[in-house]
Amino acid sequence: MASSNSGGLAGPVPGLKPVPVATSLAEFREAIQQNTPCVYSKEAVFSFQEILDEPWLRNHAGESKVCMRASPTGKFVDPSDGVFNIAKSLRSKHVSLKEFLDLKQPGTLLSGTDTYIFTKNTVVEQWSELWHHAKEVLDEYGGENALIPLSRLSTVGFWLSRNGIQSMTHYDDSLANNLNFQIKGKKEILMFPPQNWEHLKTFKAMSMHPFSFFDDIKHGRLKSIHQQRCQPHVVELKEGDILFIPSRWFHFVEHVDDLNINMTYWFKTGLSDKEMKKPKQSLRNVFIPLKLTVAFLLSYFS
Ligand SMILES: O=C(O)CCC(=O)C(=O)O
Ligand SMILES: [Fe+2]
């Protein structure tokens, strides 16, 4: 069950709004319709929420080629890290899913932004057995529990991680809506509405604040005017939970358990590009993107 207290903290933190919890699928669908963040936190409704674990993955997708990332600091990617650490966390290595699982290395990640189960209107062949279950989320296959029509689905990404990982605050630059299924383990998520861009030092779709900016918010340490003016929402996603992140909402994600498995369904909002206002850029320091660019180049050679 999702917890509306901020993750891992003893109690509610002033200024941190809990993401509303839907207690029925009807309520959850209503929030999606209304474009407001929401977490569905009841019993599992789709078969993949029950079956997807390490042994199942070994048996049904063990030979799948995946793109593994490892970070010396567990952070992907903290702009305040040293340039070599950033470079290392940007590097990726192709391995089989079985090899990745055998490694059991903390701070490693398969990212849903490069491990696709479904993309460009096509099921990715090596994940077809998982798709057999994953498609239940769609109206065409899932009966009364389904949440979205196939015509709106853009991409399904698969995430697998070992503990202690934090992901950079960003909005999904496809401008899609996001249904995030927590299948195993736990994640803690801070979310900010698109209009908070002014306070997030945005460069492209990312926030260039150091991760400590967000740690501080989670713990109620609002030291700067920008921290005080943001409108953070928090949720602790537990096994079986489904989170709706509306298009353009910023999210800062921490992977908590020893093994975390997620699937993200990105789906179209139904609005045209003209109707959707992208958050603006508020970064005033050109050295930060410069540093990231150098790290990106180094990641090819380190
Ligand atoms: O789980 C994560 O680290 C990030 C998730 C995310 O950014 C997404 O689902 O769009
Ligand atoms: Fe994202």
Which residue has a Cα nearest atom 2 of ligand 1?
253
Nearest to 293 by CA among 208, 235, 216, 211: 208
Span from the CA of 129 to the centroid of ligand 1 (angstroms): 23
- DSSP string over 75-94: EE--TTS-HHHHHHHH-EEE
Reported as a pLDDT band with limits 50, 70 and 90, residue 2 is low
Span from the CA of 264 to the centroid of ligand 2 (angstroms): 9
Bridge-based pairing state of the strands 202-203 and 153-162: unpaired
Which ligand approaches the C-alpha of residue 253 most closely? 1
Please indicate, yes or no, if residue 283 is contained in any of the structural domains.
yes
Please indicate, yes or no, if residue 2 is contained in any of the structural domains.
no
Please indicate, yes or no, if residue 51 is contained in any of the structural domains.
yes
Please indicate, yes or no, if residue 176 is contained in any of the structural domains.
yes
Please indicate, yes or no, if residue 8 is contained in any of the structural domains.
no
Which residue has a Cα nearest atom 1 of ligand 1?
253
Strand partners, 184: 261
Q: Is residue 145 a contact partner of residue 45, using CB atoms and an 8 Å limit?
A: yes
| Residue 234 predicted with pLDDT over 80 | yes
Q: Which two tokens stand for residue 105?
A: 């290395």
User: Rounded to an integer, what distance in angstroms lies between the CA atom of residue 177 and that of residue 277?
Assistant: 14
Residue range 255-293, pLDDT digits in tens: 999 999 999 999 999 898 889 999 999 999 999 999 999
User: Rounded to an integer, what distance in angstroms lies between the CA atom of residue 26 and that of residue 60?
Assistant: 33
Q: Is 178 in the pocket of ligand 1 (CB under 6 A)?
A: yes
Q: Is 188 in the pocket of ligand 1 (CB under 6 A)?
A: no
Span from the CA of 13 to the centroid of ligand 1 (angstroms): 23
Q: Is residue 49 a contact partner of residue 262, using CB atoms and an 8 Å limit?
A: no
| Residue 5 predicted with pLDDT over 70 | no
Please indicate, yes or no, if residue 142 is contained in any of the structural domains.
no
Q: Which atom of ligand 1 is nearest to the CA of 159?
A: 1
| Residue 9 predicted with pLDDT over 70 | no
Q: Is 167 in the pocket of ligand 1 (CB under 6 A)?
A: yes
Which residue has a Cα nearest atom 9 of ligand 1?
264
Q: Which atom of ligand 1 is nearest to the CA of 254?
A: 3
Span from the CA of 252 to the centroid of ligand 1 (angstroms): 8
User: Rounded to an integer, what distance in angstroms lies between the CA atom of residue 113 and that of residue 96?
Assistant: 17
Q: Is residue 252 a contact partner of residue 214, using CB atoms and an 8 Å limit?
A: yes
In the chain, what is the greatest distance between 2 CA atoms, to the nearest angstrom? 52
Which residue has a Cα nearest atom 10 of ligand 1?
172
Task: State the average pLDDT over residues 8-37.
Answer: 88
Angle (nearest 5°) at CA 9 between 7 and 13: 95
Q: Which two tokens stand for residue 33?
A: 């319709």
Q: Is residue 207 a contact partner of residue 190, using CB atoms and an 8 Å limit?
A: no
CATH code for the domain of 39: 2.60.120.10
Q: Is 111 in the pocket of ligand 1 (CB under 6 A)?
A: no
Please indicate, yes or no, if residue 140 is contained in any of the structural domains.
no
Q: Is 172 in the pocket of ligand 1 (CB under 6 A)?
A: yes
Task: State the average pLDDT over residues 15-29.
Answer: 95
Helix (H, G, I), strand (E, B) or coil at 271: coil
Span from the CA of 144 to the centroid of ligand 1 (angstroms): 27
Angle (nearest 5°) at CA 68 between 101 and 7: 80
Q: Where are the beta strands (DSSP E) in the chain?
A: 17-18, 21-22, 38-40, 65-70, 75-76, 92-96, 108-110, 116-119, 122-123, 153-162, 165-170, 177-184, 187-192, 202-203, 206-207, 233-237, 242-245, 250-255, 259-267
Task: State the average pLDDT over residues 56-75.
Answer: 96
Q: Domain tally for the chain?
A: 1
* Domain limits for position 186: 17-114+150-298
Residue range 153-206, pLDDT digits in tens: 999 999 999 988 999 999 999 999 999 999 999 999 999 999 999 999 999 999
Please indicate, yes or no, if residue 11 is contained in any of the structural domains.
no
Ligand 1 probe mutation, 114, 180, 189, 261, most atoms within 8 A of CB: 180
| Residue 43 predicted with pLDDT over 90 | no
Angle (nearest 5°) at CA 107 between 101 and 112: 70
